[in-house]
């Protein structure tokens, strides 16, 4: 019985969020200027970059969820990522879900595989996005999280969206339907 308990604790510890990658994500919900500095944007570009940021800096509970996504990315942990994907997505968006898992495995989830620092904003999902990518979903996402990083070699601010729904179990990632599904 003790061995079974220890095995269960080992499995849970590898699937649970550890927080060891929090340093990669801006952990505050105020001041986009500081968030841009955190991700390494050059000071002289910040006034122009601020105008490109959509939404408001995410509140703490969304930052906490975002930290899980960052950890899944950094550890290539598909089980951790799958644990917070909405079940309807697993059924309706198999192709895009598999593409997402491949991105986790190769470390390129949230655009690129260079180990960037990020900040995250939140906004309501636009109707055009809902109508295009989520029209067949019973429970449509209501929150767009935009992960921003500064791509130094190209000198640009890049935003990568993910879509969320709030359930009784907390936030769940809703994967859009892209292309023909099997």
Give the pLDDT of residue 178: 79
Q: What integer is the mean pLDDT of 74-81?
A: 93
Give the pLDDT of residue 23: 85
- Residue 5 pLDDT level (bands cut at 50, 70, 90): very low
More confident residue, 135 or 178: 135
CA dihedral 9, 11, 17, 22 (to 10 degrees): 100
Q: Is residue 68 part of a domain?
A: yes
Give the pLDDT of residue 18: 60
- For every residue of the chain, DSSP letters joined together read -HHHHHHHHHHHHHHS---TTGGGB---SS-HHHHHHHTT--GGGHHHHHTT--SEEPPHHHHHHHHHHHHHHHHT-HHHHHHTB-HHHHHH-HHHHHHHHHHHHHT-SSS-SS---BEEEEEEPPHHHHHHHSTT-SS---EEEEEEEEETTTTEEEEEEEEEEEETTEEEEE----S---
Structure tokens at 78: 């598909």
Number of structural domains found in the chain: 1
Q: Is residue 122 part of a domain?
A: yes
- Residue 77 pLDDT level (bands cut at 50, 70, 90): very high
Give the pLDDT of residue 111: 74
Q: Is residue 49 part of a domain?
A: yes
Q: Is residue 9 part of a domain?
A: no
Q: What percent of the chain has pLDDT over 70?
A: 85
- Residue 12 pLDDT level (bands cut at 50, 70, 90): very low
pTM for the full predicted model:
0.83
The domain containing residue 144 runs over which residues?
25-174
| Residues sharing a CB contact under 8 Å with residue 164, sequence separation 6 or more, in sequence order | 62, 65, 141, 142, 143, 144, 145, 171, 172, 173, 174
- Residue 3 pLDDT level (bands cut at 50, 70, 90): very low
Q: Is residue 179 part of a domain?
A: no
Q: Is residue 56 part of a domain?
A: yes
Q: Is residue 13 part of a domain?
A: no
Q: Are 138 and 98 in contact (CB under 8 A)?
A: no
Q: What integer is the mean pLDDT of 11-15?
A: 40
pLDDT tens digits along 156-170: 899 999 999 999 989
Q: Is residue 182 part of a domain?
A: no
Q: Rounded mean pLDDT of the chain?
A: 85
Among 29-43, 59-73, 104-118, 160-174, the least confident range: 104-118
């Amino acid at each position: 019985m003790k061995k079974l308990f220890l095995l269960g604790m080992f499995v849970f510890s590898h699937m649970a969020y550890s927080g060891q990658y929090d340093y990669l994500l801006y952990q505050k919900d105020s001041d986009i200027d500081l968030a841009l500095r955190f991700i390494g944007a050059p000071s002289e570009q910040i006034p122009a970059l601020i105008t490109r940021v959509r939404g408001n800096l995410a509140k703490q509970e969304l930052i906490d969820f975002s930290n899980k996504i960052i950890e899944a990315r950094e550890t290539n942990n598909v089980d951790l990522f799958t644990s917070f994907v909405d079940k309807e997505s697993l059924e309706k968006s198999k192709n895009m879900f598999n593409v997402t898992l491949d991105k986790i495995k190769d470390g390129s989830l949230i655009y690129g595989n260079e180990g960037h620092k990020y900040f995250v904003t939140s906004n309501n999902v636009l109707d055009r996005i809902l109508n295009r990518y989520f029209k067949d979903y019973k429970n449509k996402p209501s929150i767009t999280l935009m992960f921003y990083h500064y791509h130094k070699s190209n000198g640009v601010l890049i935003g990568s969206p993910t879509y969320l729904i709030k359930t009784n179990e907390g936030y769940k990632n809703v994967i859009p339907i892209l292309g023909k599904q099997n």
